[in-house]
Structure 1
Amino acid sequence: MSSEKLTHDDAIVNGVRLHYVEAGEGPLIVLLHGFPEFWYSWQKQIPALAAAGYRVVAPDLRGYNASEKPHGVEQYEIDELVGDVLGLIDHLGEESAHVVGHDWGGLIAWEVAIRHSERVEKLAVLNAPHPERFRELLRTPEQLRRSWYVFYFQLPWLPERLFSIRNYTPIAELFRDGAANPDAFDETDIQRYVEAAAQPGALTSSINYYRALFREQARDELKTLFGGSRGDSTVQEPTLLIWGEQDAALRVELTEGMERWVPNLRIERLPNASHWVQNDQPEQVNDLLVEFLEG
């Protein structure tokens, strides 16, 4: 990717400083990365989307890489993460945007569309199920087994300690060993992810996403037990779900049955891609995104 085509900037949104990169002109697309990534996970998409006539903005989510890392698990609750996206769209001078998210960025993208449909033109999500579908399947033994790390991340300090051993080798192995395409990441890419994870406070901040989610879901379950409701989870906007079928953590069955909440849904399953779908099959993902956004 040509670095001269990118601009780097910071914005104070929702009370935190977010770093972001920007390229291109046209309708706004906001790209939201996952764990343990940063804006760089979209390096193969930004040029293609900018060339297709879009203004592409990819932030480091709060707690990651060059963005601010507020202290406390409560700082990473969904309300705050959604507020960051809305604040960024406001900062960029727009009322709405196309929102694209992968992994944790996908969960945030779902929640932005559920809670603030007027701010989303079109929604595209990569390897992140609709929140209600994930709640359903998380009750099954197989998905519970695959999602063991969510419970492990609830422990204090130990996950951070283990991720940082041997100069953050476990972080490098997530990318090196988890991709379906041997060319998905080169050593320079992996080193950039390691450097981002090694920023002071970054590991705790990124793991706090899981800690906050676990607490929020526990509260939701208690509310439901006593007759409460989580509210309407419908997404009315045109939605594209791209799913790498070789995802080791998230079963492909998570893509089934989402039409109950997403009536205008298109699903593209990529059999030769892993959880790192936009890196395993960048050209296919780029083509799908451009076709969907222009359709």
Structure 2
Amino acid sequence: MVTNRVKLQFGEEGDGPLVVLLHGFPESRATWKHQIRALAQAGFRAVAPDLRGYGDSPKPRGIDAYGLPLIVDDVAALIESHGDAPCIVIGHDWGAAVAWYLAMSRPDLVRKLAVLNVPHPAAILREMRRSFRQRLRLTYQLFFQLPLLPEIVLRLFGVCGSLTPMLHWYRALRRTRGQLRKLFRRIDVPVLILWGEREPIFLPSTIEDLDAWVANVRVERIAGAGHFLQRDAPERVSELLCDFVRA
């Protein structure tokens, strides 16, 4: 059978119920090192993959290879290969977007969902319609969709790694937007949103009034933390995640 899936490389620690942690741009599974350790010590099997185009995982050629539906499918295959579904899924940045869409499209695989500093996709669209400030904050994504120039600029700012595959996630977004909207469904499993109060990309209003899309959601705000709150406040994030997965 021919498939567009790629085999993700991942790190794993601990024994017990499965928890999958999904990183964002421009990082790798290493961003979760504090949380992996804490979850393992709490009695869980923490699995953190390098997502498609990142770290040690495959980096297929072409923009179409980085559409979110394919990446969601990669993660679904990873969960199925561990034979412990439904599991707990945690995501940050792009990894949070993958986690949201996984919970909507494959509810059989997700028992609980925790996301860091990325709202529900429908809430993002709602606030973009309402707020010029929110649209302005997301203009960097348009820049990242340009050919070649983003790679040059990010290198100048010291960002390392294979930048073109990472940036293809943004470039593919325009091509898959209609397909992604068809995946919008109400999420019935418990959801935890961790929110750094110094978040520079999304307005606080994007995590308000989520009842239409999420049945059971809790928001925990972390003072002094920005977008990368798992690094800004590692102990607090680990504590909140461990409490959530144990509940």
Output the TM-score relative to the length of structure 2: 0.94
Higher mean Cα deviation, 99-108 or 265-274? 265-274
Unaligned runs of 5+ in 1: 1-12, 172-193, 222-228
Q: Is the 8 A contact 2:200 2:227 kept in 1?
A: yes
Alpha-carbon spacing, 1:53–1:14, altered in 2? closer, same or farther (3 Å) = farther
Among 193, 196, 221, the residue aligned to 1:269: 221
Q: Is the 8 A contact 2:38 2:238 kept in 1?
A: yes
Tell me, in whole angstroms, the C-alpha distance in 1 between the residues paired with 2:101 and 2:179. 15
Could you give the per-residue CA deviations for residues 163-219 of structure 1, whole angstroms, max 9, x where no partner exists? 123xx52x2xxxxxxxxxxxxxxxxxxxxxx3xx2xxxx2111111111112222x4
1:160 aligns with 2:151: yes
SS of the equivalent of 1:29 reads strand
1:54 aligns with 2:44: yes
User: What residue number does 2:54 align with?
Assistant: 64
User: What residue number does 1:149 align with?
Assistant: 140
1:207 aligns with 2:167: yes
User: What residue number does 2:14 align with?
Assistant: 24
Task: Give the partner amino acid of 1:37.
Answer: E
Q: Is the 8 A contact 1:248 1:274 kept in 2?
A: yes
Equivalences for residues 211-230 of structure 1 within 5 A: 211-217=171-177, 219=178, 230=182
Tell me, in whole angstroms, the C-alpha distance in 2 between the residues paired with 1:123 and 1:231. 17
Could you give the per-residue CA deviations for residues 43-101 of structure 1, whole angstroms, max 9, x where no partner exists? 11111000000000000000001111011111111210110111101222223210000
Tell me, in whole angstroms, the C-alpha distance in 2 between the residues paired with 1:60 and 1:38. 5
Alpha-carbon spacing, 1:137–1:220, altered in 2? closer, same or farther (3 Å) = farther
1:33 aligns with 2:62: no
User: What residue number does 1:289 align with?
Assistant: 241
Tell me, in whole angstroms, the C-alpha distance in 2 between the residues paired with 1:240 and 1:103. 14
User: What residue number does 2:187 align with?
Assistant: 235
Q: Which has the larger radius of gyration?
A: 1
Task: Give the partner amino acid of 1:106.
Answer: A
Supply the RMSD in Å over aligned alpha carbons: 1.7
Could you give the per-residue CA deviations for residues 6-38 of structure 1, whole angstroms, max 9, x where no partner exists? xxxxxxx95323211000000000000000000
Unaligned runs of 5+ in 2: none
Q: Is the 8 A contact 1:132 1:233 kept in 2?
A: no
Output the TM-score relative to the length of structure 1: 0.79
Among 189, 194, 197, the residue aligned to 1:245: 197
Tell me the matched-pair count.
244
Task: Give the partner amino acid of 1:282.
Answer: P
Task: Give the partner amino acid of 1:214.
Answer: R
Task: Give the partner amino acid of 1:73.
Answer: I
Tell me, in whole angstroms, the C-alpha distance in 1 between the residues paired with 2:184 and 2:32. 31
